[in-house]
Structure 1
Amino acid sequence: MSDHDEDHDLEHDEAGHDHHDHGEHGHAGHSHAGHSHAGHSHAGHSHAPANFGRAFLIGIILNIGFVVAEVVYGLLGGSVALIADAAHNLTDVAGLGAAWLATVLARRAPTARFTYGLGRTTILAALMNGGLLMLATGAIFLEAIQRLIHPAPVAGVTVMIVAGVGIAVNGISAWLFASGSKGDINIRGAFQHMLADAMVSAGVVVAALIISLTGWNRLDPIMSIVISVVIVAGTWDLLRQSVGMSLDAVPDGVDATAVRRYLRELPGVTEVHDLHIWSMSTTETALTGHLVIPGTHPGDGFLRVTSDQLRRRFRIGHATLQIEIDAEGQCRLAPDHVV
Structure 2
Amino acid sequence: MADHDHTARTPLINRAFKIGILLNISFVIIEGGFGLATNALSLLADAGHNLSDVLGLLVSWVAVILSQRERTDRLTYGYKKSSILAALFNAVFLLVAIGGIVVEAIQRLQNPQPVLENDVMIVAAIGIVINGFTAWLFMKDQHKDLNVKGAFIHMAGDAAISVGVVFAALIMKFTNWFWLDPVFSLVIALVILISTWGLLKSATELSLDAVPQSIDLQKVKSFIQTQDTVTSVHDLHIWAMSTTENALTAHVIRTTLDHNNDFIRRLDHELTHNFDLNHTTIQVELGKISDESTDHCI
Residue 7 of structure 1 corresponds to: none
1:242-301 Cα deviation digits (max 9, x unpaired): 111111000002111111122222222222111110001111110001012244244221
Contact 2:40 2:116 in 1 (8 A): no
Distance change >3 Å, CA 230–CA 71, structure 1 → 2:
closer
User: Is 1:307 aligned to residue 268 of structure 2?
Assistant: yes
1:54-73 Cα deviation digits (max 9, x unpaired): 11111111111122334544
Superposition TM-score, scaled by structure 1 size: 0.76
Contact 2:25 2:54 in 1 (8 A): yes
Residue 24 of structure 2 corresponds to: 63
Contact 2:232 2:252 in 1 (8 A): yes
Residue 164 of structure 1 corresponds to: 125
Structure 1 residues 135-174: aligned runs within 5 Å:
135-174=96-135
From 269, 274, 281, give the equivalent of 2:242: 281
Cα distance in 2 for partners of 1:232, 1:161 equals 26
Distance change >3 Å, CA 78–CA 261, structure 1 → 2:
closer
Cα distance in 1 for partners of 2:27, 2:78 equals 35
Distance change >3 Å, CA 257–CA 283, structure 1 → 2:
same
- Note the residue ranges of structure 2 that are not aligned, 5 or more in a row: none
Distance change >3 Å, CA 200–CA 137, structure 1 → 2:
farther
Bigger helix fraction? 2
RMSD after superposition:
2.8
Cα distance in 2 for partners of 1:227, 1:78 equals 19
Structure 1 residues 171-320: aligned runs within 5 Å:
171-320=132-281
Cα distance in 2 for partners of 1:301, 1:91 equals 51
More divergent stretch after superposition (196-205 vs 317-326): 196-205
Instruction: Give the count of matched residue pairs.
Output: 289
Higher relative contact order (CA 8 A, sep 6+): 1
User: Is 1:123 aligned to residue 81 of structure 2?
Assistant: no
Q: CA deviation at 1:155?
A: 2.6
Amino acid at match of 1:282: T
Q: CA deviation at 1:86?
A: 4.2
Contact 1:279 1:285 in 2 (8 A): yes
Contact 2:34 2:120 in 1 (8 A): no
Distance change >3 Å, CA 78–CA 222, structure 1 → 2:
closer
SS of structure 2 residue aligned to 1:270: strand
Identity of aligned residues (%): 45
From 85, 93, 103, give the equivalent of 2:54: 93
SS of structure 2 residue aligned to 1:286: strand
More divergent stretch after superposition (210-219 vs 264-273): 264-273
Distance change >3 Å, CA 85–CA 258, structure 1 → 2:
closer
More divergent stretch after superposition (166-175 vs 223-232): 223-232
1:224-251 Cα deviation digits (max 9, x unpaired): 3334333322332222111111110000
Cα distance in 1 for partners of 2:118, 2:100 equals 24
Distance change >3 Å, CA 199–CA 141, structure 1 → 2:
farther
Amino acid at match of 1:237: G
